[in-house]
Structure 1
């Protein structure tokens, strides 16, 4: 493939995976900066006191704001969120990485943790959204 855009578009064909590309980084820059702000205790307190008002201080899109308020981590990844930055959001809610990520899989925490302890998801199954195989 000689076209970089065509090459990068192939990443969107991987089921259940969001590759953090430069385009996603640009799209999520302010969202990720918001998440990083939660490293400071005073910002966490302000955020949890009035989440909507705190988010209004950041130049994020209405869709990103709604996804934060709903704690829709899969949607946040689609909107440019980086999982390592988003970890600041769920840890400020008192969730561990395992607890938060299990919500992204539709699995219980125990089932998700057991799957990961057993080596993760099977490589068998759908490998292409477009081709369905």
Structure 2
């Protein structure tokens, strides 16, 4: 198989994952897109950076090469938007921790459920996969 054919095959393969509702496969393309968001999030591993961020979030974000859309998503704690912009959830967890939230609380905010309903749904076995198979097929 030629290298050109392999490249097409990998792109076709990865494109399939874009059709799964609520799923963002972290590919090299997403990593490139979210590089600066992830660098910002990783900076929150240091206590002094967390304190600076908490003192003036906008000023701290302005120190990073982030788009206005990314800054707005951080300020709104719109984790879904951050993931769409290429953020990696493991890096975003640094922001979640900075806010003193549990991972489950943050994930609940990414769904249509409040935290209590989300916990109950997960305790009951999670979301049913029925009807949630394809974006192209309208679920």
- Gaps spanning 5+ residues in structure 2: where? none
Q: Residue 118 of structure 1 is aligned with which of 124, 127, 130? A: 124
Correspondent of 2:54 among 48, 51, 57: 48
Alignment of 1:21-60 (within 5 A): 21-60=27-66
Mean Cα deviation higher: 95-104 or 5-14: 5-14
1:91-106 equivalences under 5 Å are 91-106=97-112
Distance 2:47 2:132 in 1: 43
What is the CA deviation profile of residues 41-76 of structure 1, one whole-angstrom value per residue up to 9, with x for unaligned ones? 110110011111101111122211111011110000
Quick one: distance in 1 between partners of 2:50 and 2:138? 42
Give the length in aligned residue pairs: 133
Partner SS, residue 54 of structure 2? helix
Match of 2:84 in 1: 78
Distance 1:77 1:31 in 2: 10
CA RMSD of aligned residues (A): 1.4
TM-score in terms of structure 1 length = 0.93
Distance 2:76 2:104 in 1: 18
Task: List runs of 5+ in structure 1 lacking aligned partners.
Answer: none
| 1:89 and 2:106 aligned | no
